[in-house]
A and B are shown apart, each in its own frame.
Chain A
Amino acid sequence: MQRKSIACIILTLAIVFTVALALIVCQPSGVPQKTVVVYTSVDQVYSEPVFKDFENRTGIQVLPVYDVEAAKTTGLVNRLIAEKSNPRADVFWAGEFSQMILLKNQSVLAPYQSPSGSDIPAQYHDTEGYWTGLGGRARVFIVNTDILKPADYPHSLDDMLSPAYPGRIGIAYPMFGTTATQAAALYSTLGYDKAHAFFSNLSERGVRVVDGNSVVKDLVVSGQLDYGLTDTDDACTAIAQGSHVAIVVPDQGAGQMGTLVVPDTVALIAGSPHPAEGKVFIDYLLDKNTENDLVKSGWIQVPSRNVTTVIPCLNGTVIKPMTVNYQDIYDGVEMTKTDLADIFVR
């Protein structure tokens, strides 16, 4: 009886082990052998079609890993750093640049200058060739048109503090995401004292600080806020959905600083398992046609090059970008985030 039980156990364990191994190791037939692993903080809704198109064109299967805004961008970047000694990703495609610079400083990236990016302006390239930028999004105001008349629209970041522009205002936590990047840009451009004063006054004014740009958009759309700071992709989504909102690009006047344009960035991961396929993907992503597709899909509103697609939600507006140095912005990020946490998280 006991021998039967032992045999039974061994047989069961063997079956379980075999099935598990088969699930884990074996690939179903028909799946291409070539793969590329892409970690991306670009919204799945926008990045997934890009991956599908790439697969159709090249036959290389894309295995994506997505980030979520709720994880405050602590997810993927920290995962890449943690995996540094045994990388799993081939490519990192980010929706902004400061995280990319952080990864470069942590020796997570490998240099690669794609021929597809040769016509992208110089300011979008890392000086040492570790990453390349392409078109991106701008920081804008999203305004509820049922609540505010055009005369009451804010036109500058300073208007958020002006009593001439009262109203319920919202921003995302400036310690995370593109709001943090914009904050770091302001600290870099205005200097610590002015930027600190600006954000302190904003906090004292009672601006509503929420859990992400999409939340700002949701609250403005629902009328819980009069206007807020967000990215162009969030604002354009709201317009495309027929919400009663308008986009106002801040600081566009003569002598004003312009608004921050946050480019997408892409880079090869050092020691990646599929470097050749990674390079093919980067070449594809930096291609002008792909950038055009991203403009068409609504992810990019400020292309790095002239593309054929017109961006409907901006009504042909030409955005005056803030003149910035990405490295300077990045250098100030940690200090900025710490300072802003002191101001807003209390």
Chain B
Amino acid sequence: MKDRIVPLIRMRGCITLSAVAGTLLLALAVLIIFGPLAGLLFELARFFGAGGGGSALAGLLTGRRLVLLIQSVGLAAAVTAAGICAGVLIATALWRRSRAFSFGILLLVLALSLIPPYIHALTWSSAITLFNQGLTTIGAAPLPSSGWLVSFWVQFMAMFPLAIFLSCIGFASVDRTLVEVARTVRPDSEVLQKIVLPLAAPSLVAAFGFLFVLSCTDYSVPSLFGSDTYALDIFSVYSATGSAGAALITALPLLIITVAVLVACRSGIRRLAQTPNWTVGAWDNPPVVPGPVRLFQEGAFLLLGLQVVVVFSGLVYATGSWAKLSSALAFSAHEIGDSLLIVACVIAIGIPLAIVISRELLLPGVRGSLWWGLILLPVAVPAPLIGIGIISLWNNPAMPVLYGTFLMPAFAALSRFAAFAAIILYVQIRAIDPALIDAARVFSRDTVATLTKVTLPLLAPGIFIASAVLAALTLGELGATLIVTPPGFGTLAIKIYNYLHYGAAAEVAGLCLFMVAATLVAGVCVAGAVAWWNVRGPGSRCKKSVMDHD
């Protein structure tokens, strides 16, 4: 009898320990990620209480604003669709390449996505001017240097690297066995159309949603080329009234659209049934694409090459010399250190939160759906408003220690970007055979050992990727960070924009080059870590042998 009771008590102890830890982390996630929204709602209530709500709502969708909204959504949809199409072309083209080449491309696009859209805009603006000078010399008509077409082009090129990265992740989610089965009975062109694309569709739809939201909330690129967007109008209201409530009401139509798009996309992710294999090797005999598709693939690579040439040559030319680069770095050492501190903090806090949230996303029924809806909300809210929400929540006498520290910009980044880490880990967790975790729970009574020796190693690839995405997004975050960065603290993004305003193009270019180089180095380190993990580390024991059930 005693023997039966003791294991039962011990099992209860295990459940209690992990349940408590899970609940605490979940509570922390709610506080950090959704707290700013609660703060914003409080500001909104105050705004209505002061009598400002009525007039703001009345003027919400006037003729001018409706046109702006349609223009903005149209631009965002066009940019995103083009980005995903081009991303799919490159992702499928990489099947024919070696694993090293594919990894190099992924690293390159991750590094390029760090560069603020504004820098892409400036370099492309200069490139178009130069090109037009050449055209004028030969008597040809110059390209338009402002308007919707050029806004579309530059915003597409700014989003292109991220679109490629997300498309590649999307295709990595397709179970290769399913493709191979199809290849034994149908030509590759049909397999691509009827098997690969439908299987990758949920991930691609999710990528579309994310890029769409980013594009909708970006006004810097279109405004440089004379195209006005709804996001700009939100800031006009904010500037004119100084009221977060008024800005939030103005943002409502755009918020509704972006949230609706995100919710529609999450349905796709929830249906995701395949096993993602982030580290799968190259195809030994890759699917053959039809000739015309191949042409488009090469065209997409040319576009990527063009993007790299324009951006890098613009940055290098603007930097001018090693001396200017070193002085920019020396002068920004403090900001570089602060930025890296925030990134480390975001990853250290964000990954555990993302793991617990991803478990909530797995739950069926109302609870899971609720989490899916909630987690995507902060993504759609304009960044400065998130900052105001953080101040509303944390700047009170009850929490004097935390407000005014580097945790605030970290919390701002977490609120905005934790959803992406959670979704990446959600996909990873779905890939894990539950029997593996159950077996650990049955055979090991040590919760910590289960976590460190079973759960985390199984989640490792997703954790690495989620960390990389969090780092990239955090480094480029400006709007919310500006509102909450503590006195004496500075980030690289703020420094870059300050230099831009001053007109120190050389210093800006130098810092951007540094960010790109740092990402490449970090990416190589992560790749090395993943490779070690799979070849010599715990992952090598998880993998089946190369002969694989032969």
Contact = CB atoms under 8 A, between A and B. Distances in A.
Contacts of B479: 71
B498 A83 contact: no
B482 A68 contact: yes
B478 A68 contact: yes
A230 to B, nearest CB: 11
A145 to B, nearest CB: 17
Contacts of B235: 72, 74, 176
A66 B490 contact: yes
Interface in B490-518: 490, 494-495, 497-505
Contacts of A62: 488
B44 to A, nearest CB: 13
Contacts of A176: 235-236, 239
Given A65-B487, A210-B223, A342-B64, A45 B498 contact: yes
Contact of B387 (A69, A79, A218, A338): A79
Contact of B126 (A37, A222, A344): A222
Contacts of A222: 125-126, 129
B57 interface: no
Nearest to A5: B448
Residue from A21, A63, A86, A238 having most chain B Cβ neighbours under 10 A = A86
7 contacts: A66-B490, A175-B239, A180-B239, A214-B502, A234-B503, A338-B236, A345-B236
A237 B502 contact: yes
Nearest to A71: B482
Interface stretch (B98-106, B166-174, B397-405): B397-405
Contact of A81 (B129, B223, B242, B488): B242
B244 A78 contact: yes
Contacts of B141: none
B68 A68 contact: no
A18 B397 CA distance: 22
A342 B240 CA distance: 12
Interface of B is mostly: helix
Interface stretch (B10-18, B419-427, B435-443): B10-18
A8 to B, nearest CB: 6
A53 interface: no
A35 to B, nearest CB: 8
Given A214-B500, A214-B501, A346 B240 contact: no
Nearest to A238: B503
Q: How large is the interface on A (under 10, 10 to 19, 20 to 34, 35 or more residues)?
A: 35 or more
Contacts of B232: 173, 345
Nearest to B485: A65
A263 B218 CA distance: 31
Interface in B230-288: 232-233, 235-242, 244, 247
Contact of B494 (A8, A66, A342, A345): A66
Contacts of A68: 478, 482, 494, 497-498, 501
For chain B, which range describes its interface: under 10, 10 to 19, 20 to 34, or 35 or more residues?
Answer: 35 or more
B122 interface: yes
Nearest to B39: A82
B363 interface: no
A236 B389 CA distance: 39
Interface string A35-67: 001110001110000000000000001111111
A85 B13 contact: no
B223 A173 contact: yes
B60 interface: no
A270 B30 CA distance: 33
Contacts of B387: 79
Interface string A95-117: 00000001000100000000000
A333 interface: yes
B238 A78 contact: yes
A169 interface: no
A24 B401 contact: yes
A209 interface: yes
Given A37-B487, A345-B68, A2 B395 contact: no
Contacts of A295: none
Given A78-B242, A218-B122, A333-B240, 20 more contacts: A21-B401, A24-B401, A38-B487, A45-B504, A66-B490, A66-B494, A68-B478, A68-B498, A74-B239, A75-B482, A79-B388, A79-B391, A81-B242, A83-B391, A173-B232, A210-B223, A214-B502, A224-B125, A238-B503, A337-B239
Contacts of A21: 401
B449 interface: yes
A68 B126 CA distance: 23
Contact of A66 (B43, B498, B503): B498
A6 interface: yes
B391 A74 contact: no
A334 interface: yes
B330 interface: no
Contact of A25 (B228, B392, B401): B401
A42 B164 CA distance: 39
A334 B228 contact: no
A70 B448 CA distance: 47
Contacts of B146: 208
